[in-house]
Amino acid sequence: MLAKRIIPCLDIKDGRTVKGVNFIDLRDAGDPVELAEIYSKEGADELVFLDISATEQKRKTLAELVYRVAEKVNIPFTVGGGISSIEDVDVLLQNGADKVSINSSAVKNPQLINDLAAKFGSQCIVVAIDAKQIDGEWIVHLVGGKVPTERKLFEWAKEVEERGAGEILFTSMDHDGTKDGFANEALAKLSTELNIPIIASGGAGKVHHFTDTFEKGKADAALAASVFHFKEIGIGDLKNELRDKGIPVRL
């Protein structure tokens, strides 16, 4: 079995790391460059950097900040926010990103997934999907979770895979920041129906939530933010506990 990955997420707004609950009530969580370096040294498997207001503010991801973060880490580094073209991806890769994450732009222009996968390879393309349950259906949302669409999670995820995405980063908006655990039922369905890795996001609060999302949710990786930013869970401690429970991780 492939090792499960632990991925801290740096949500960036105005050059600072922030964290909220259910995508709102953001509070400052520190300097992204400093946090990235700490997580790299603590044993994180990857980092995700999301410029969460780039799409809403109609601007590009902060390439200079990406460069500064990349200088401090020696682990794979995924960047998202405001990416809508091959040129955008070129700039980020040149500034040190290993992978890119697209979300709103992929829903608005699904051909973008095909184009980026053809140009850079599927392994470089992560499609982020933010969804929440409405009348029993998982509905995809855009622009940092502010705009509901007519897309349904599982149908969109399948199309994303068919168009060439290498991974899916699924965030349950209902679970985001609640620290009540991941959306394991939805994650398990995604993992069963798709052949590409699924990154679980939204809801980490305790060590057993990570265990559950790997065992019950069948996730390939687990992404979290505030539990790491505010030192509620240490990455090394987390990995040791996961290993003790028989879950394969890189130490």
Q: Choosing from 45, 51, 88, 130, which is the catalytic residue?
A: 130
Cα 225 versus chain centre, distance = 10
CA separation for the pair 188, 195 (Å, rounded): 12
Look at residues 224, 223, 226, 216 and name the one whose alpha carbon lies nearest to residue 247: 216
Q: Choosing from 11, 45, 51, 88, which is the catalytic residue?
A: 11
The CA-based dihedral angle spanning residues 31, 38, 176, 117, taken in that order and rounded to the nearest 10 degrees: 90
Q: How far, in Å, are 2, 45, 139, 193, 241 from residue 221 at the CA level?
A: 10, 9, 22, 17, 16
CA separation for the pair 117, 210 (Å, rounded): 30
| Contact (Cβ atoms closer than 8 angstroms) between residue 124 and residue 99 | yes
The residue whose two tokens read 């801290």 is: 8
> Is 174 considered catalytic here?
no
| Contact (Cβ atoms closer than 8 angstroms) between residue 199 and residue 223 | yes
Quickly list H helices, the chain: 32-42, 63-72, 86-94, 104-108, 111-120, 153-162, 184-193, 207-215, 226-229, 235-244
> Is 11 considered catalytic here?
yes
| H/E segment holding residue 48 | strand 47-51
Active site residues: 11, 130
